[in-house]
Amino acid sequence: MIELLAAAALSPWAHPLAFRPLRGWGTGSSGNVPSLYGPSPVRAPKASSAWMARNVRYRDKATADPPNKTLEHLPARGVIVWAVIFQSDYTPQKPIGLDLSRARRLPCCEAAYVAGGVYELAGSGPRRAYSVIVRVFFGSRPTNARRNEAQRALERLELPPLR
């Protein structure tokens, strides 16, 4: 029983993914849910998603990847930062760095045009306990001011620690 409690305390799933509040931004999260990312080394893999949005009402479930309903209404000044952690066989070797200047720009999206595109960061959490993907969506080509806003939001992401 003590071993089970100790394992739970070390688990990143004891603290689901979340963003700390930031003035002018909305936030939300999914809590722990069954993972749709895989394959996974565990029988019932978990995932946890969170989002932060500025100048747009978030309309999707926190787990929506991509959040197409919200992206359909993303104004030019809108910014969405969306993140997920999950258990996977493909956990990256390198820890994620939450630095927008290192993000790669990707074509976007399945059902909604995003004028400013999407930027993605990926890596692992502490001690490679889980994989992390962070996506930043801009309603228009990002200015330095908009990039700085998004970077401040990224800095509010609370990746679950391993204790």
Confidence bin at 10 (pLDDT 50/70/90): low
Q: Which pLDDT score is estimated for 163?
A: 61
Q: Nearest-CA neighbor of 25 among 52, 51, 49?
A: 52
Q: Which pLDDT score is estimated for 5?
A: 36
CA atoms within a 13 Å half-sphere pointing along the CA-CB vector of 75: 7
Q: Which pLDDT score is estimated for 112?
A: 80
Looking at the predicted structure, is the pLDDT value of residue 126 above 90?
no
Contact 87, 130 (CB under 8 A): yes
Strand partners, 48: 32, 85
Contact 76, 141 (CB under 8 A): no
Confidence bin at 8 (pLDDT 50/70/90): very low
Looking at the predicted structure, is the pLDDT value of residue 9 above 70?
no
Domain boundaries, the chain: 2-158
Three-state DSSP class for residue 103: coil
Looking at the predicted structure, is the pLDDT value of residue 41 above 80?
no
Confidence bin at 97 (pLDDT 50/70/90): very high
Three-state DSSP class for residue 113: coil
Looking at the predicted structure, is the pLDDT value of residue 137 above 50?
yes
Contact 121, 103 (CB under 8 A): yes
Q: Nearest-CA neighbor of 84 among 102, 104, 63, 107?
A: 63
What is the spatial distance between Cα 50 and Cα 73, in angstroms, rounded to a whole number? 19
What is the spatial distance between Cα 30 and Cα 42, in angstroms, rounded to a whole number? 20
